[in-house]
Each structure stands twice: as C-alpha cells, then as structure tokens.
Amino acid sequence: MARKVFEHHEAVSAVVPDAGRYRAAIAIKALQGGVPQFHKVLDGQSFGTAHEADVAAADVLPTLNDVDEDGQPVFAPT
C-alpha cells in the first residue's frame, strides 16, 4: 500500500473486488477521520490478484496532484 498526504486528506492505494477479479483504486479519507471513499482508476483494466491491482494503484498514486474540498481526486493532466 502506497500513501500520499495532503493538507486535509490522505490517499492510499487500494483494491476493489470486481466479478472474481480486482480493480485498482485510490482510497481518500479526511485526516480528521471518517469513512474512506474509493475511486477506481485505470478504467477498463482488471487484475487477477489483489496484489497486482494494488501495485497498479500505487503506480497511479504519484499522479494524484491534490484532493478537492469534497474529497475528490485531482489528477495531473495527461
């Protein structure tokens, strides 16, 4: 699991089960607490193991520039 901290939120690499496979995701949670929100990344890609999906999510995490006030990810332009 990779982690990135912002002013009011933290983001970690995450995995979401999907029909017997796994999707890469970024989980975002407010630093003062609360429930994390999972944001799937790498649209259309799924992985055979949770480990593979987590590695893929960790590779995406550095492109996360910020988290807006609503807890939504703001990625670098591609």
Whole-angstrom distance, CA of residue 75 vs CA of residue 72: 10
Distance CA 41, CA 53 (A): 10
pTM confidence score: 0.92
At 1-25, the pLDDT tens digits run 899 999 999 999 999 999 999 999 9
Query: Would you state the pLDDT for residue 77?
Result: 81
pLDDT value at position 69? Answer: 87
Q: What number is the average pLDDT over the span 35-47? A: 96
Percent of the chain with pLDDT over 70: 99
pLDDT band at 78 (very low <50, low <70, confident <90, very high): low
Domain range holding 55?
A: 3-75
DSSP tag of 36: -
Look at the chain and report how many structural domains it folds into. Answer: 1
